[in-house]
Chain A
Amino acid sequence: MKIITCYKLVPEEQDINIAKDLTLDLSKAAKKINTFDLNAIESAIEFKKLTDVEQITALSVGDKSLENVKLRKDILSRGPDDLLTVVDESFNQLQPHASAQILSAAAKQAGFDLIICGDGSSDLYAQQVGLLMGSMLNVPTINAVSKIIAATQQTITVERALDEVVEVLEIPLPAVISVSADINDPAIPSMKAILGAAKKPAKQLSLTDLEVGELATPVTPISVMAPKQMDRKQIIIDGDDEEQITIFADYLRKSFN
């Protein structure tokens, strides 16, 4: 079986600042592998316990940050056999539909039995790419997969945790599944895996290498702004004497009514 696991590079959320005009300042935020995609990669690796896996390919689309050697090693040290990237300078703010178009074309060209994606990305959190890929490739697709129970070369059996029920589903392959963040705890790569990552094959494609057609833009972003802060009273009591704590407790009590 051939598995493709998709990942996205996203800005480190701890380093995003909000500018005075309420726009986001991403200038200090380095790129990292989207956390949800680490769950997808780990699922692919764990899959080897269930059935024969011939190859696991990590696949991504994006701008030149995908060429970052450290990040390439990072992804490969987590267990995929090889790396496939589709890079273009204009891909720094790809929208879900276009991402799915390019990833689908790359997956089709590479060949696959199963594509595993994370449920969403921590930046745009559109939660669409895996599902759109499945629909574009015209294969069964589902999100929120919380456990992979069994697999043969033709079918996988998964659990899917929804709001009120858990569904056990039998999905014929080929298929595209999106996994939830609680499906596993991604292992921290060993030193040996990190060193071995540099030797794994990596292939970089450009858009012209793929049969994508025109990139569709059914949705375009207009603005990305931090929500306005509410006005706060800012009554500050400086000190922790009994009297001061009593005043504070009184404010607390009054706010209950």
Chain B
Amino acid sequence: MQKLSNIWLFSDLANRLPELVNAANTLAEKVSVFVLGDQQQVDQALALGVNQVHYLGEQPTTRITEDYAETIAHTLQQNEAPLVLLPATKRGKTLAAKLAIKLNAGVVNDVNHIDIEQGIKAAHMTYGGMAISEEQINSNTAILTLSNGAFPAAQPTAVIGEVVNVDYIAPAVAITCIERRAKQASSVDLNKAKRVIGIGSGIGSKENLVVAAEVASMINAELGCSRPIAETEKWMDRERYIGVSGVMLKPEIYFALGISGQIQHMVGVNSAQTIFAVNRDKNAPIFQQVDYGLIGDINKVLPALINALKA
């Protein structure tokens, strides 16, 4: 495979840099990283075996990360830059768009596959996860933000890189950060859960939800749901609904309770290793998409299942 001459990286989150470095290593001869932060972050980048660290210095608390776009663009304009990789964070996406206009470059966000055989192509999810779109970048520079976890992380290796200091270039009009505070972590992180029970309208009653939660705790599963359960019934939080414009799962086990199996829900669980389902309707589309299915009445199945799992 013909490799690219040089790839440029920047990550607003230190823990996302190893993924970018690994993706870059497979695609390019030379890897250059912009680092914003203290000496420790410079050392961490060097420890990943990159060729160059372009050091942006420490970030004043009132300055936002995105206002480094001018500075980064200036360096890229003076160097060969066929590809720029950023993490698909909110900051990454803002920087990508700003760099795109300064560099006349094309952007694709949330990329989970890159192909450099004929020019640069990138794939990402569209239509709420129902489709994968592949796109060709026609500009001299391609800017991609990479999906969290789409590429494995690079491991620390021998330090070979040099450090180049970069002077800050202020934007025409700056945005001022007047406060930064830690965010309350979300109470549920479904897309990291190994086992998930999905509740659909076939659960029948709110009382059954309590029983389903008991099953979930017995098998160490998180509870998720279909869109109607979150939006129509409002029995569960919006952050738990699975599928199109909701959460996309990648669990070892997905267990559907009273889920009919509409495509808009199933796109969120297609990557599950094993799918179980209980539904009363033997014609429900879910049964064409499961590994193990049980045709039966939820009211009867749930208590019996608890007994069977206890045994």
- Chain A residues near B (Cβ < 8 Å): 11, 13-14, 16-18, 24, 35, 96-97, 122-128, 131-132, 134-136, 138-144, 157, 160-172, 216-227, 229-230, 232-240, 242, 244-246, 248-253, 255-256
Contacts and interface: CB of A to CB of B under 8 A. Distances in A.
A234 B177 contact: no
Contacts of A164: 13, 182-183
Interface in B210-261: 219, 244-245, 252-253, 255
Interface centre among B121, B271, B292 (most CB of A within 10 A): B292
Interface string B148-189: 000000000000000000000001111111111111000000
A236 B293 contact: yes
Contacts of A252: 219, 253, 255, 276, 292, 309
Contact of A237 (B138, B180, B294): B294
B94 A141 contact: yes
Contact of B308 (A126, A229, A246): A246
B305 A169 contact: no
A165 B97 contact: no
Q: Is the interface of B mostly helix, strand, loop or mixed?
A: mixed
B100 A233 contact: no
A240 B178 contact: no
Contacts of A96: 107
Given A240-B301, A246-B308, A249-B308, A165 B180 contact: yes
A95 to B, nearest CB: 9
A65 to B, nearest CB: 17
A234 B131 contact: no
Interface stretch (B45-53, B78-86, B122-130, B200-208): B122-130
Chain B interface extent, by class: 35 or more
B107 A128 contact: yes
A162 B89 contact: yes
B225 to A, nearest CB: 16
B127 A122 contact: yes
Contact of A219 (B106, B275, B293): B106
A162 B65 CA distance: 12
A11 B264 CA distance: 13
A143 B290 contact: no
Contacts of B116: none
B127 A16 contact: yes
B11 to A, nearest CB: 12
B52 to A, nearest CB: 26
Given A122-B127, A221-B133, 14 more contacts: A127-B109, A128-B100, A132-B100, A163-B90, A165-B181, A168-B181, A170-B176, A219-B108, A226-B132, A227-B270, A238-B295, A248-B292, A252-B255, A255-B291
Contact of A229 (B100, B105, B183, B270): B270
B195 to A, nearest CB: 8
Contacts of B131: 24, 224-227
Given A124-B126, A220-B135, A234-B293, A143 B106 contact: no
Given A18-B130, A162-B90, A237-B293, A218 B138 contact: yes
A256 B181 contact: no
Contacts of B102: 135
B133 A167 contact: no
B177 A168 contact: yes
Contacts of B300: 240
A218 B101 CA distance: 10
Contacts of A167: 64, 177, 179-180
13 contacts: A18-B130, A35-B245, A127-B93, A128-B96, A141-B94, A143-B94, A163-B90, A164-B182, A218-B106, A223-B134, A234-B293, A236-B290, A248-B276
